[in-house]
Amino acid sequence: APAFLLSSQLLPKFLAQRGLCDLASKDRRGRNALLQAVACGERVLCAEIILRANHAELNAYDAAGETALHVAAQCRCPDIGMALLLCSDFDQVNRQNCDGSTALHFAAGYGCVQLCTNILSLKQLQEANAQNFRGCTALHFAAANNHAEVCSVLLSHSTFTFADAEDVNSLTALDVARPAAFQAILAGRGRRKLCRQVSD
């Protein structure tokens, strides 16, 4: 069956199973249909909901302050995250959750290279250098989880300038980095230094 037909049949069933009467309804965790579909990795349903959802439903966040973009990154569903970023109505890319972490933190921490790249390329991104309440940047998240390619992406992007930021324990991303990420950060910092020398 065509995907649009399948999702049209599944959406009412999904809402009923989740105890939701419509796309705006929320469960006890404060998650609406989109947030729940993303958390379940239901890609076809997510596409259907994204097409149908209004501004409030697209930009909803749960009790932890997390949007569908946060959840997509945590669930390693970068394709859903990128679909959200393509929606002109989605405007919560800078949102920090209750811990102060942005979707970029999670995309970096879970190694979602393309999602990180897409988030960094957004004109409305204002929180590339956001530090959560533990003082960690997206680079800390990537480094601690040994995501070397994400470290390289962050360090090569002009909007990310907090390469030497310290967390609440006075540790930089280089301090918490595992081997591959450590090398990527050293290389990235070296390239930045060279670029500054050339521009001077």
Q: What are phi and psi of 199, to 5 degrees?
A: -70, -30
Report percent pLDDT > 90 for the chain. 86
Of 29, 27, 24, nearest in space to 59 by CA:
24
* Structural domains of the chain, with CATH: 1-92 (1.25.40.20), 123-200 (1.25.40.20)
User: Taking residues 12-17, what's their average pLDDT?
Assistant: 91
DSSP 57: H
Q: Are 58 and 87 in contact (CB under 8 A)?
A: yes
Residue 17: which H helix or E strand, with range? Answer: helix 3-17
DSSP 128: T
Give the model confidence (pLDDT) of 106-124 as tens digits: 999 999 999 999 999 999 9
- Look up the pTM and report it: 0.90
Of 87, 80, 39, nearest in space to 59 by CA:
87
